[in-house]
Amino acid sequence: MCKFPLLAATIFTSSVSAVQILPIKDHGSTEVLVSSTEHTRISVENDRIAQLFGIDGRLSFELDEMNGQVFISPTSGTEGHSLLITLTTEKGLTHDLRIKPTKRPAEAILLRPKTQGIQEGVSPLDTYQGLLLELIKAYATDTLKEPYKVVALQKSPPEKIESELTLQPIKEIHSPQFVGKVCHVKNEGDTPLLLSPHQFAKFKPLAIVFSTRVLKPLLQTEVLLILARSGS
């Protein structure tokens, strides 16, 4: 049973780009945070985007028919607005996306149908990304058995990572390849904060799992930073 609804896992590739992995279901709806200044690539795992509906003048797009993905770009002044589009795929899936432009670097969006989602089970893969996803699944579903080892950390003063944002490690999850650092992140300010991968760049994470992306004033949330083991 999951500890919380998994909002997004952000996995960094060797080219230092980032991918948000979002679970979707047929005839469902998902909120997607995109850059208001850069193109955002959206694709569906093991499927191809066939059509988009609901596009208005505030959102431009280019459908890459060869690869079955789409690049979208909001017009200026759309920050804080919600732009609704509907996509259909070649395998017959229909899904609504509530596009919310924000002032943030662009991240590719990978939509994962729930039958293949992290919470539905990820088959063991002898690949780098597969091992990352296995650790994310074990954390999200609280099934941290072999080969994972949980190490409690002594309480230490919170570290300020931005002017209003503090981070406090609470435990580590060790695997043969990675160290998962579970942290409490708190908004010490009086306005909501949008959590983004760049705020954790100093730790050089290979992947980040957010339980929420919008953190209200004086509240905290749990974040998992997956780091390379020393010598890996």
Domain 8-119 has CATH 1.20.140: no
pLDDT (tens digit, 9 = 90+) per residue, 147-190? 999 999 998 999 999 999 999 999 999 999 899 999 999 999 99
pTM over 0.85: no
Looking at residue 12, its pLDDT comes to: 62
Rg (CA), the chain: 18
Taking residues 41-61, what's their average pLDDT? Answer: 87
Taking residues 55-76, what's their average pLDDT? Answer: 84
Mean pLDDT score of the chain, rounded to an integer?
A: 84
Q: What is the DSSP letter of 16?
A: S
Looking at residue 231, its pLDDT comes to: 57
Looking at residue 53, its pLDDT comes to: 85
Looking at residue 11, its pLDDT comes to: 64
Q: Grade residue 66 by pLDDT with cuts at 50, 70 and 90.
A: confident
Given a cut of 60, whether residue 232 has pLDDT beyond it is no
Among 111, 142, 108, residue whose Cα is nearest residue 39: 108
Q: Grade residue 227 by pLDDT with cuts at 50, 70 and 90.
A: very high
User: Half-sphere exposure of residue 202, counting CA atoms within 13 Å on the CB side?
Assistant: 6
pLDDT (tens digit, 9 = 90+) per residue, 103-151? 878 888 889 987 644 444 444 344 667 788 888 888 988 889 889 999 9
Distance separating alpha carbons of residues 83 and 78, to the nearest angstrom = 9
Looking at residue 170, its pLDDT comes to: 96
Looking at residue 196, its pLDDT comes to: 83
Among 105, 100, 108, residue whose Cα is nearest residue 45: 108
Domain positions in the chain: 8-119, 127-228
Looking at residue 67, its pLDDT comes to: 81
Q: What percent of the chain has pLDDT over 90?
A: 38
Given a cut of 50, whether residue 75 has pLDDT beyond it is yes
Given a cut of 90, whether residue 218 has pLDDT beyond it is yes
Distance separating alpha carbons of residues 187 and 189, to the nearest angstrom = 6
